[in-house]
Structure 1
Amino acid sequence: MAGPSGMFVYGIVPADVEPTEDAVGVGDPPGEVTAVVHGELAALVSEVDLEQPVGRPVDLTAYQELLDGTAAVAPVVPVRFGTVVTGTDAVHDLLDAHRDRFRAALDELDGRTQYTVRGRFHESELMGALLAENPGAADLAEQVRGQPEAASREQRIRLGEIISQAVELRREAETRELVDVLGPVAVTSTVRPPGHEMDAMHVSFLVDVDRADEFAVVAEEFAGQRRELVRMRLLGPLAPYDFVDAHHLAG
């Protein structure tokens, strides 16, 4: 490696876990993924050039694929993407400083995996439903139809405010019902903030591996009941990104 190097840290695992031979790290060219063992713990790391920024989409994909693949066979505590330390000694220091927290997190995550449910409203169907439920909004929509924006600016602003509030309330209701339905087949859940104005839900669930099939069936049934209004996706199994606080420790 031409320039000064550091260690990119992916996640924390039990000491007996090793990366597969085909594991691909971040960087260009990708670094070899290895395990730095410290007592009962190990950190999955790869060497990176400190003069080369790490943050390309391909780097994030490599980070996620490594952690998701590891989580399929062993508990793993993801470390925040982009965490780079100066070398092997610094990795040992990280593992030593947070030994108890890492060990407790690994114990809690053993035999569990993350699934994330994302849903987005079909905009035309949602707008139709909202206008049917709100005569005032429907009247404003009729007033601005075919009118120049400048001439109907006030009505458009009021209509936008009404629709925005209605979408937020509908999102809260959809999210609440999703958690009520999937909660009994999950260990716990966490609601993520919407990333788009038409997002209907974004919730991550921690699921016992031996109930993963049951969870998927219940999620599919829920999605089927809403497919006219919401397009849903089930992502997983994933590393437990949303259920550990250790990924905030470094960097």
Structure 2
Amino acid sequence: MALKRTSLPRTAEAVALAELRDAIVRGDLAPGTQIRQTAAAQELGLSVIPVREALKTLAGEGIVTYVPQRGYTVTELTPRSVDGIFRIRELLESEAEANAAARLRPEDIAAMRAAVDAQRAATAAADVPAVIAANRGFHFALLARCDNDWLLRFVTQLWEALEPHRALSYRRAAVAGDSARAEAILTEHDGIVTAFEDGAAARALRLLAGHRTQGRADFHRLLGATEPTG
């Protein structure tokens, strides 16, 4: 399952939670994958109890799903659930972006530009984990400037609910040699950061809204639905 024990001075449950979350976000644990508590505990060098508690936390966030007699699996989204997530993202993330845009500093814009460059290099190298990390870095260089902690917490949770499927999408595209959407995402990101560089925050926010709409369509294509259901 590509889990690893870190040397950071954290509780056993915190270690299990961080490593499971990272493996899911990277796509090493793909949607639908069953997570066996005993096997995960052995890989991490932990007892089963902290792994079980970590899985309960992830289940509360919607990242994994618990089914009696089967245990925990990485959550598989449906077109309907994607619509639900993106509807909430439209409400919360647009608010967080507007809040953050008003507080954006030159170094934040520089971080966004650096993330675009890193994503471009990772895309060219077909390095899916690096693409995912750079994509997240781009968006959260902006979102991190939001001064509403609760709003940012909910936005982050929505992002993490989608990350396993985002990783799956990138991996499928890499295997198929399909770079068209990856290049389009880079173009969209470039336009957003250029708008911020130009001091045109309103334009950047409009581009972010369009980027989110396109992302929703991407997830529908991944799940085999040609049109959004809502």
- TM-score over 0.5 for the alignment? no
Structure ID, larger Rg: 1
Q: Which has the higher strand share?
A: 1
Q: Which has the higher helix share?
A: 2
User: TM-score range, shorter-chain basis?
Assistant: under 0.3
Scaled by the length of structure 1, the TM-score of the pair is: 0.25
Scaled by the length of structure 2, the TM-score of the pair is: 0.27
